[in-house]
């Protein structure tokens, strides 16, 4: 496929600080239309926009409040995936947000620096609401966190990977075989961008990988087989994870350097690597498909920018 569209970077969410020092975000779940590769009229949902949502960012120790307004016309919820918080603030199926209302959970951020995400968690409709586009990242920062590339959108890049199925120019939600877990698509978007490229400007790049697909498991790698370092998961950086807490983690030798990384739906991780190749997602066996490989995104360093659109 041609990598001819600049990778969209979700904006950082605006926030205000109230008199008592609480950081306040305003999020509106809404309907819109987006160009996901099939023209501009694809009906989508988004948070503060037409598709996906802004990236929230807060420091460990901060008190935060998020005003979540539901403008999609259907009951939904907004769940803070991976966040340590009181159950009543979690945004699960018990904290529904009715159409036209606002829900304002608040909590104190108290966990290691990590890459988290938010998404609806409505009983029976989580997959379809995420599929339509309600999802975004929530980054937790820490004063004494590891020294890593941290300039958002420059060398610290959100990579939200989703597969989509289209019926004409509209999203097809008929999951057929995978109806119980959501739709399995045959086209890949990164941050809502089909065929994306990103011109990177630094030698080290941190990728925050979020598998926000319904059903597909990916084995991420670079087309050239370049190794990268897996530096964390949605539980925080490896530094913070005990062996028992890291039951899904790769073996110790793979943590330092790896050329392949398997990731299930709904999970985040972060990888670090000098970039000079497309990232590929190879479907794992559970989610069988006719295509064997997807190239998700071409990340191009300055010394390889002769072709504006690399094909693969
Ligand atoms: Cu979740």
Domain boundaries, the chain: 2-141, 156-311
Compute the distance from residue 120 Cα to the ligand 1 centre, in Å: 8
User: What pLDDT does 301 receive?
Assistant: 62
Does 2-141 match 156-311 in CATH topology? yes
Compute the distance from residue 191 Cα to the ligand 1 centre, in Å: 17
User: What pLDDT does 249 receive?
Assistant: 40
Spans in the chain with pLDDT lower than 70: 145, 175-181, 237-260, 268, 270-295, 299-312
Compute the distance from residue 119 Cα to the ligand 1 centre, in Å: 6
- How far is Cα of residue 222 from the mean position of the Cα atoms in its chain? 19
- Fold of the domain built from segment(s) 156-311: Immunoglobulin-like (2.60.40)
Span between the terminal Cα atoms of the chain, in Å: 5
User: What pLDDT does 225 receive?
Assistant: 77
CA angle, 277 as apex, 273 and 278 as ends, to 5°?
105
Compute the distance from residue 269 Cα to the ligand 1 centre, in Å: 14
- Take residue 157 and report the two structure tokens written for it: 């890049």
- Take residue 15 and report the two structure tokens written for it: 């926030």
Compute the distance from residue 135 Cα to the ligand 1 centre, in Å: 10
Q: Are 130 and 122 in contact (CB under 8 A)?
A: no
Q: How far apart are CA 170 and CA 29, in angstroms?
A: 19
CA angle, 121 as apex, 246 and 170 as ends, to 5°?
110
Compute the distance from residue 202 Cα to the ligand 1 centre, in Å: 32
Compute the distance from residue 129 Cα to the ligand 1 centre, in Å: 12
User: What pLDDT does 280 receive?
Assistant: 58
Compute the distance from residue 142 Cα to the ligand 1 centre, in Å: 22
CATH architecture of 2-141: Sandwich (2.60)
How many other C-beta atoms lie within 10 A of the C-beta of residue 30?
Answer: 20
Q: How far apart are CA 33 and CA 26, in angstroms?
A: 21
User: What pLDDT does 80 receive?
Assistant: 96
Q: Are 41 and 34 in contact (CB under 8 A)?
A: no
User: What pLDDT does 61 receive?
Assistant: 96
Compute the distance from residue 201 Cα to the ligand 1 centre, in Å: 32
| DSSP symbol at 231 | E
Question: DSSP of 148-170, one letter per residue?
Answer: ----BTTTEEEEEEEEE-EETTE
Per DSSP, the three-state class of 232 is strand
- Which residues neighbour ligand 1 (ion) by CB within 5 Å? 81, 266
């Amino acid at each position: 496929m041609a990598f001819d569209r600049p990778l969209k970077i979700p904006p950082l969410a605006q926030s205000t600080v109230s008199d008592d020092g609480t950081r306040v975000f305003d999020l509106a779940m809404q309907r819109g239309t987006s160009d996901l590769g099939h023209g501009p009229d694809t009906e989508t949902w988004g948070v503060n926009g037409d598709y996906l949502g802004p990236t929230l960012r807060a420091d460990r120790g901060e008190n935060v409040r998020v005003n979540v307004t539901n403008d999609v016309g259907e009951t939904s919820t907004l769940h803070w995936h991976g966040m340590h918080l009181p159950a009543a603030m979690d945004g699960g199926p018990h904290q529904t947000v009715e159409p036209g209302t606002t829900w304002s959970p608040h909590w104190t951020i108290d966990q290691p620096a990590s890459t988290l995400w938010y998404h609806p968690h409505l009983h029976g409709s989580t997959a379809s609401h995420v599929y339509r586009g309600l999802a975004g990242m929530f980054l937790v920062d820490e004063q004494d966190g590891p020294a890593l590339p941290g300039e958002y959108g420059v060398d610290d890049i959100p990579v939200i990977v989703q597969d989509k199925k289209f019926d004409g120019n509209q999203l097809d939600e008929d999951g057929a075989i995978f109806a119980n877990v959501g739709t399995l698509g045959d086209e890949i978007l990164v941050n809502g961008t089909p065929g994306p490229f990103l011109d990177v400007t630094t030698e080290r790049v941190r990728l925050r990988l979020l598998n926000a697909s319904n059903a597909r498991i990916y084995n991420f790698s670079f087309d050239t087989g370049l190794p990268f370092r897996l530096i964390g998961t949605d539980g925080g950086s490896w530094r913070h994870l005990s062996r028992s807490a890291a039951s899904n983690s790769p073996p110790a030798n793979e943590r330092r350097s790896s050329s392949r990384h398997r990731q299930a739906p709904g999970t985040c991780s972060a990888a670090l690597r000098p970039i000079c190749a497309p990232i590929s997602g190879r479907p794992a066996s559970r989610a069988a498909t006719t295509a064997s490989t997807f190239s998700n995104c071409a990340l191009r360093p300055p010394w390889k920018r002769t072709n504006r659109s690399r094909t693969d």
